[in-house]
Amino acid sequence: MGSGASVSEGARPGRLDAGEAEAEPGRASTPAGRSDDTLQVNACHVSRAAAEQSQRLNPRCVLCPQAEEEAVKPGSPIMEVRSLKSEQSYTHKSGEEDRAAHTVLSPAETVAEGEEVSLDFESFLHNNGTLYSCFNHHGNRVYVDESQNLQPFPKEWYNQGRFITANSEGSSQLQTPASSQPVVREDDRTGSIYIQGRGTVMTYMFEERVNVCRFWDPQSGVWLLLPLQWEINVEFVKDRVQRVMSTLPGLVDQKEITAALRQCNYDPEEVVSVYLTMFGEILLQAPPSGDHNYADLNSFRALLERDRVIEDLRQKLQTKEKEVDSLFQRNSYLAREVRYLTDVVQHLNQKLAELEADQQEAREKIRSLLNRRAPPVPPSRTNTKPTVDPGQLQQVSRLTRELNVSNKQLRSTVHQAMTDMKNQLEQLKGAVGKLAQVEQEAAGEVEELRSLYRREAVERKSLYNKLLELQGNIRVFCRCRKSPASSSCLEKTDNQEVVVVQKGSRKKFHFDKVYPQSSTQEDVFAGTLPVITSCVDGYNVCILAYGQTGSGKTYTMMGSKENPGVNIRSIQELLRTCAEKEKVSYTLKISMLEIYNDTLNDLLTKSPSAALDIRVQGKSVSVPGLTQIQVQTEADILSVMETGEKNRKIASTKMNIQSSRSHLVVALEVESSDEVSGLTSRGTLTLCDLAGSERISKTEAEGQRLVEAAAINKSLTALGQVFSALKCNALHIPFRNSKLTHLLQPCLSGDAKCCVFVNVSPDMKDVVETLSTLQFGSTIRQVSLGKATQNIVPAKNNKSAKQTTN
């Protein structure tokens, strides 16, 4: 932040905060405690949802009668509104108007010498659905209109919408008196558990759409969702977990079983059958002792088993394909043989015909000779000498006999040869027929194997996805920036907990992982690694960095050349995963844009055209006109990103803005096509370095700086609102309240996996911002997205593929 630290103690308006953040006992004495107020915001969300659902499904179970009643009250912020002296002075379109704005908003008028007060923004949600950023100046409220101009806040609007601030939502609407006791029926679903730091609290198993276990929080006077860690100790749940464990001794992680029970509406039989289906008989045996992560291991083992089955199938497929090949070869060899033998038979037939002709000729000769031997002349008296020599005659008749014999022999030989040949031909024909049949069978088997392979591949993906879902679709990591200062406001107690120490009070926050100052870029990247595979599998994946300027967002996301951050590493991992899969071809496309003052700027074009807009078609969100560049290697991607960075610098210099005042979004679209199964899928990896979340101080609050601060406030508030709505399973998620959330919609709704880094500074002077950043992170952590769906389309019909970015 600028020169001085903000001293405002109040909750940051427009920001949604953590309900999960635990407070130390005694914290309640903090004056105007930010944490108290903020806790109520979430408590109200929960209580409203709980009240509505329980009223709907269990009319006799009256939980928070006040909640119902007060939910219908319009927001009634009490504020003094004085009319503006000159409405014109608040707009700043032209130079003159700009000057006017400067005069009116001059810090000297409002802030006493040496006093540094931060400017508090409010967000006003108009009934028409638009979210406006507002703030007070000289007791007059102004708002930032659609064209980023400051306008006096219209009086009539007070009845046309409501302010989303911690105070108005938390205190005036849904609060139930802390002393009130819940009204519930006494049955086996009523229970109580002891929670450290809170004492014994009451639990009740609600019959909602699915059963949800909540506990009564007397402090905020609402039913809060029981965290998994606590839920394990509820009798109702414990009993069911035990039942699952006794059936499946292989399952030892009670937390995992509890999570599974939640998914299966607390039906142990269903959990057992789901696990048996997923992991098979292996769970029927007890795990080897000392194996703490057995359940997790099992998931991985099942995954490995799937991989092995796929590998087996692939090999079988290959052998079958080879068999078919050799059958084809044999078939063509036999066909050649048949042709050859047919030729031989033909040739022999010819020979036979020739021989028969010869024989015929010989017979003719013999007949004529015989005729000559005995001429049909009448006996004459004259004693004439016989015309033929008897010796010659004898010779001829011997010859004839011999000829006859050889003729017979020849005939029988030919006949024999013919019969043999015919037999052989018959056999060959039979063999060819059989071969064709075998070939058909083999082709059928190959097709079967192929479909098996396809199914296994899809199941592997869904199994992997389930594994990730078990860990949560939104994962929130906290990273503390390295600081040379010796005193730090942050203490890391374990891998998942961080404590903020401020003026002797301690406040704990929990995250999926807390990265201390000493953590390396590799450590940090390891947390996001599992979701990268998910992107290759066709899911939308998003990695966000949130925090005040200077807290290490850009360092975490981009890093330096020598020590790259999550961006480069995830892209490297993506390319590596793609290269690993031989039978799958991938197309990668990259786009890069900046959101400044709620306007999208393409960073990959030299000649930026008119401002980009977001288009929605069904569930897909696209940005028509946004440059997308196809990339193949890491070098391609790096050079594209360098271009984008350069363009960002040029644009920011031209417009005189700092890069920390805009959101940077890098989107990588991965389209895959599996050659074996024919399936195609499309996932997007969205990497987002958000603008600094800090409040601006009143001394800096003028002109452009004020407008951009309002835009940042609005977009981050909208982001918080989206997470909050997701947390309540609200029917309407207000994605359209800002360009940022609208653009990120595909990464934040059902389809997606999201990793959020909350970057914090350990410096004492930043403690207020650090607290508010951690509270934001805690809120997000309570969100679990709906069941993810893969963007998979069957082969030849990929027109209906979901599109995430243009």
Stretch that binds Mg ion, among 108-116, 124-132, 350-358, 660-668 (CB under 5 A): 660-668
- Could you tell which of Mg ion, ligand ADP, none binds residue 481, using a CB distance below 5 to 8 A set by kind? ligand ADP
Q: How far is CA 116 from CA 110, 113, 713, in A?
A: 10, 8, 19
The 3-class SS string of 555-569 reads: HHHCECCCCECHHHH
Q: Are 761 and 550 in contact (CB under 8 A)?
A: yes
Q: From the list 91, 554, 790, 804, which residue makes contact with Mg ion (rule: CB under 5 A)?
A: 554
Specify the residue, 222 or 758, whose C-beta has the smaller distance to ligand ADP: 758
Relative to beta strand 680-689, strand 540-547 is: parallel
What gap in Å lies between CA 621 and CA 449, rounded to an integer? Answer: 37
Widest pairwise Cα distance in the chain: 177
- Could you tell which of ligand ADP, Mg ion, none binds residue 287, using a CB distance below 5 to 8 A set by kind? none
Q: Which residue is nearest to Mg ion (CB)?
A: 554
Residue 262 CB, nearest approach to Mg ion (Å): 38
Residue 499 CB, nearest approach to ligand ADP (Å): 19
Residue 479 CB, nearest approach to ligand ADP (Å): 7
Residue 769 CB, nearest approach to ligand ADP (Å): 11
DSSP-derived secondary structure for 632-671? -SHHHHHHHHHHHHHHHHHHHHHHT--GGGSEEEEEEEEE
Please tell me whether residue 677 binds Mg ion under the rule CB under 5 A: no
Q: 547 — alpha (psi -120 to 50), left (phi > 0) or beta? A: left
Q: How far is CA 128 from CA 161, 652, 736, in A?
A: 8, 33, 12
Residue 601 CB, nearest approach to Mg ion (Å): 16
Residue 549 CB, nearest approach to ligand ADP (Å): 4
Residue 552 CB, nearest approach to ligand ADP (Å): 3
- Could you tell which of ligand ADP, Mg ion, none binds residue 713, using a CB distance below 5 to 8 A set by kind? none
Residue type, 364: E
Please tell me whether residue 548 binds Mg ion under the rule CB under 5 A: no
Residue 543 CB, nearest approach to Mg ion (Å): 15
Specify the residue, 170 or 527, whose C-beta has the smaller distance to ligand ADP: 527
What gap in Å lies between CA 63 and CA 47, rounded to an integer? Answer: 9
Residues 6 or more apart whose Cβ sits within 8 Å of residue 398: none
Specify the residue, 244 or 774, whose C-beta has the smaller distance to ligand ADP: 774
Specify the residue, 113 or 522, whose C-beta has the smaller distance to ligand ADP: 522
3-state SS assignment for residue 377: coil
Specify the residue, 209 or 646, whose C-beta has the smaller distance to ligand ADP: 646
Residue 599 CB, nearest approach to ligand ADP (Å): 21
Please tell me whether residue 652 binds Mg ion under the rule CB under 5 A: no
Specify the residue, 257 or 480, whose C-beta has the smaller distance to ligand ADP: 480
- What binding mask, one character per residue, do residues 345-384 give for Mg ion by CB under 5 A, x or -? ----------------------------------------
Specify the residue, 672 or 773, whose C-beta has the smaller distance to ligand ADP: 773
Q: Are 453 and 314 in contact (CB under 8 A)?
A: yes
Specify the residue, 725 or 755, whose C-beta has the smaller distance to Mg ion: 755
Structure tokens, 451? 């479909």
3-state SS assignment for residue 794: coil
- Could you tell which of Mg ion, ligand ADP, none binds residue 182, using a CB distance below 5 to 8 A set by kind? none
By rule CB under 5 A, what count of residues binds Mg ion? 3
What gap in Å lies between CA 165 and CA 34, rounded to an integer? Answer: 12
Specify the residue, 90 or 546, whose C-beta has the smaller distance to Mg ion: 546
Structure tokens, 484? 């040379």
- Could you tell which of Mg ion, ligand ADP, none binds residue 759, using a CB distance below 5 to 8 A set by kind? ligand ADP
Residue type, 574: L
Q: How far is CA 256 from CA 293, 302, 463, in A?
A: 10, 16, 15
3-state SS assignment for residue 400: helix
Residue 547 CB, nearest approach to ligand ADP (Å): 5
Residue 647 CB, nearest approach to Mg ion (Å): 16
CB-based burial of residue 83 (10 Å sphere; 0-12 exposed, 13-18 middle, 19+ buried)?
exposed
Specify the residue, 481 or 781, whose C-beta has the smaller distance to ligand ADP: 481
Structure tokens, 383? 């004693």
Q: How far is CA 457 from CA 309, 316, 453, 538, 679, in A?
A: 10, 15, 6, 13, 10
Specify the residue, 473 or 660, whose C-beta has the smaller distance to Mg ion: 660
Q: Are 771 and 778 in contact (CB under 8 A)?
A: no
Please tell me whether residue 556 binds Mg ion under the rule CB under 5 A: no
Helix, strand, coil percentages in the chain from 3-state DSSP, rounded to 5: 50, 20, 35
Residues 6 or more apart whose Cβ sits within 8 Å of residue 730: 49
Specify the residue, 122 or 763, whose C-beta has the smaller distance to ligand ADP: 763
Stretch that binds Mg ion, among 2-10, 554-562, 620-628, 675-683 (CB under 5 A): 554-562
Residue 234 CB, nearest approach to ligand ADP (Å): 40
Positions that interact with ligand ADP (CB under 6 A):
481-482, 547, 549-555, 660, 692, 759
- Could you tell which of ligand ADP, Mg ion, none binds residue 551, using a CB distance below 5 to 8 A set by kind? ligand ADP
What gap in Å lies between CA 758 and CA 479, rounded to an integer? Answer: 6
What gap in Å lies between CA 557 and CA 578, rounded to an integer? Answer: 22
- What binding mask, one character per residue, do residues 195-214 give for Mg ion by CB under 5 A, x or -? --------------------
Specify the residue, 481 or 492, whose C-beta has the smaller distance to ligand ADP: 481
Please tell me whether residue 775 binds Mg ion under the rule CB under 5 A: no
Please tell me whether residue 89 binds Mg ion under the rule CB under 5 A: no
What per-residue string of b and e applies to 764-796 under the rule 16 or more CB within 10 Å gives b?
bebbbbbbbbbbbbbbbbbbebeebebbbbeee
Q: Which residue is nearest to ligand ADP (CB)?
A: 552
- Could you tell which of ligand ADP, Mg ion, none binds residue 564, using a CB distance below 5 to 8 A set by kind? none
Cβ atoms < 10 Å from Cβ of 58: 15
Residue 763 CB, nearest approach to ligand ADP (Å): 11
Per CB under 5 A, residues contacting Mg ion are 553-554, 660
